[in-house]
Amino acid sequence: GQQVMQIPQYQHVQEGEDFTTYCNSSTTLSNIQWYKQRPGGHPVFLIQLVKSGEVKKQKRLTFQFGEAKKNSSLHITATQTTDVGTYFCAGFHNNNDMRFGAGTRLTVKP
Amino acid sequence: DGGITQSPKYLFRKEGQNVTLSCEQNLNHDAMYWYRQDPGQGLRLIYYSQIVNDFQKGDIAEGYSVSREKKESFPLTVTSAQKNPTAFYLCASSIYGNQPQHFGDGTRLSIL
The pLDDT tens digits for A43-79 are 999 999 999 999 999 999 999 999 999 999 999 999 9
| Per-residue confidence band for A22, with pLDDT thresholds at 50, 70 and 90 | very high
A91 touches A76 (CB < 8 A): no
Nearest CA in chain A to B59: A1
Q: Do B105 and A42 touch (CB under 8 A)?
A: yes
pLDDT digits (tens, 9 = 90+) for A74-84: 999 999 999 99
Q: What is the structure's pLDDT at A2?
A: 73
DSSP conformation letters of chain B:
---EEEE-SEEEE-TT--EEEEEEE-S--SEEEEEEE-TT--EEEEEEEEETTEEEE-TT-TTEEE--SBTTB--EEE-TT-S---EEEEEEEESSTTSPPEE---EEEEE-
φ, ψ of residue A73 in degrees (nearest 5): -140, 155
Indicate the burial class of B4 (C-beta count within 10 angstroms; 0-12, 13-18, 19 or more). buried
Query: Which of B4, B43, B50 has the highest number of chain A CBs within 10 A, making it the mutation to test binding with A?
Result: B43
Which has the closest alpha carbon to A100: B59, B44, B105? B44
Task: Give the closest-approach CA distance of B13 to chain A in angstroms.
Answer: 21
**Average pLDDT over all residues of chain A:** 95
- Please name the amino acid found at residue B35: Y
Evaluate if residue B1 carries a pLDDT over 60. no
B45–A31 CB contact, under 8 Å: no
Which tens digit of pLDDT belongs to each residue from A94-105? 756 889 999 999
Helix (H) or strand (E) holding A18: none
- Average pLDDT for B30-45: 93
Query: What gap in Å lies between CA A59 and CA A7, rounded to an integer?
Result: 23
- Comparing alpha-carbon positions, the chain B residue that sits nearest to A39 is B40
